Amino acid sequence: MRAATWQGVRDVRIEDVDDPKIEEPTDAIIKVTSSGLCGSDLHLYEVLSPFMTPGDVLGHEPMGIVQEVGSAVTDLAVGDRVVVPFQIACGTCYMCDHGLQTQCETTQIRDEGTGAALFGFSKLYGAVAGGQAEYLRVPQAQYGPIKVPDGPSDDRFLFLSDVLPTAWQSVEYADIPDGGTVVVMGLGPIGEMATRIAQHRGHRVIAVDLVSDRLERARSHGVEVLDWNEFDDLTGAVQELTGGRGPDAVIDAVGMEASGSPTAEMAHKVIGLLPRKVGETMMKNAGLDHLSALHASIDMVRRGGTISLIGVYGGAADPMPMLTMFDKQVRLHMGQANVKRWVDDIMPLLTDDDPLGVDAFASHHVALEDLPAAYDTFQKKEDGAFKYVVKP
């Protein structure tokens, strides 16, 4: 089959790889009909390259049609249309029972000290072949895949794989009081969807970004937006909009994005070019993240407020302003999204009325063979690149 493979820093190629096969009774094989290109994929494209191996198949946002099931998979049948969550979870361990599927004890990557295995996401999370491919082997298929109805286009349901539950969890973790105000830092796909979910729940939403078309997208559906390029004192600007107190909550949907930080950006590039073992050691032991979005979140949130951290950070020794956090009694809630925990809450919103605007959420649809160029354009934020959907 054809698949998107990682071959080196900023080097994605479409190559012929072996077709996936049933390896365990709990496996299923799906024919991929759509797959997303995510900001987290860009981390592998450069920053987390020390943990990648040439030939790794990328992608963690797939959906498709079931082609084959293992003997222990009783709830799926050939021909079912399914969305596959980005994490691989068993559904029966202690962590899954407590709604923490990203900490699944059955699939945890203990050798790396990380949580549940993820599709297409480096050896840190199991180096499981991903879904930017024609076919996908789905481990733990007795629990993971989400069956969806025939009829609507793939875009109606595809974002259940990651974007929707991740954004939903970010709003849940923000603990915004009824009628309260939330600031969303970063208007990539997760931040943009978080603004829509918060609006749907009746909250006042202010959003911050550096990219004009992303700010305009949020403004178009009633979000108050601030272009960070225009403010020397972002905290002061936000406080002015919130009666001098600050917002009840801030959602940091930026993570390790290095935009605007020459030092962090250079560190990311240098690590990507180092010998793998050296780069891996630095990533595991150094504080290399660009933390301006997180530090701004801590500064602007009201005293006693909550920061929901949903952007992915990669540094192991990043400095934090503990005095400020302690003095302000800031609550910090973070973590990878637990997809299956939120599906029942989200599914009723994927109706013909489409209140979250999923049908028109993607900015680009591309063929699998065009994906390497899409990675490059997406990283550079050119051509209005916001959310790519790949059609193998």
In sequence order, the β-bridge partners of residue 224 are 206
Structure-token pair, residue 170:
């970010």
pLDDT category at 298 given cuts 50, 70, 90 is very high
pTM: 0.91
Strand pairing report for 306-309 and 331-334: parallel
Tens of pLDDT, residues 186-195:
999 999 999 9
Q: For position 264, what pLDDT does the model report? A: 46
Domains with residue ranges and CATH for the chain: 2-162+338-391 (3.90.180.10), 164-334 (3.40.50.720)
The alpha carbon dihedral of 138, 140, 141, 143 has a sign of negative
Instruction: Find the Cα–Cα–Cα–Cα dihedral 52, 313, 367, 152, rounded to 10°.
Output: 130
pLDDT confidence bin for 272, thresholds 50/70/90: low
Cβ-count burial 20-42 (b if 16+ within 10 Å, e if not)? bebeeebbbbbebbbbbbbbbbb
Reply yes or no on whether the pLDDT at 282 is more than 90: no
The 10 Å Cβ neighbour count of residue 260 is: 14
Q: Is the pLDDT of residue 285 over 50?
A: no
Tell me if residue 390 falls in helix, strand or coil.
strand
Helices 189-200 and 163-174, axial angle in degrees (round to 10): 60
Whole-angstrom Cα distance, residue 205 to residue 198? 7
Q: What φ, ψ does residue 228 adopt, rounded to 5°?
A: -60, -25
Query: Cβ of 231: how many Cβ atoms within 10 Å?
Result: 13
- Both structure tokens of 386: 């916001």
The fraction of the chain above a pLDDT of 90, given in percent, is 79
CB atoms closer than 10 angstroms to residue 315: 20
For residue 289, is pLDDT > 90?
no
Question: Does residue 259 or residue 138 have the better pLDDT?
Answer: 138
Tell me the two tokens of residue 286.
Answer: 């150094």
CB-CB neighbours of 71 under 10 Å = 10
Could you read off the pLDDT of 47-94 as tens digits, one per residue? 778 889 999 999 999 999 999 999 999 999 999 999 999 999 999 999
Residues ≥6 apart with Cβ < 8 Å to 378: 37, 42, 385, 388
Q: Quote the tokens at residue 266.
A: 């250079």
* Interatomic CA distance for residues 155 and 151, integer angstroms: 11
Whether the pLDDT of residue 263 is over 80: the answer is no
Instruction: Outline where DSSP puts E strands in the chain.
Output: 2-8, 11-16, 28-37, 56-57, 62-69, 81-83, 135-138, 146-147, 181-185, 204-209, 224-227, 249-252, 306-309, 331-334, 364-367, 388-391
d(Cα 103, Cα 341) in Å, to the nearest integer?
12
Quick check: 278 pLDDT over 80? no
Helix (H) or strand (E) holding 283: helix 276-285
Q: Which residues contact 118 (CB under 8 A, 6 or more apart)?
A: 60, 86, 87, 88, 125, 126, 128
Looking at residue 286, what is its pLDDT?
A: 46
77, burial (CB in 10 Å: exposed 0-12, middle 13-18, buried 19+): exposed
Backbone angles phi, psi at 165, to 5 degrees: -65, -30
* Per-chain mean pLDDT for the chain: 91
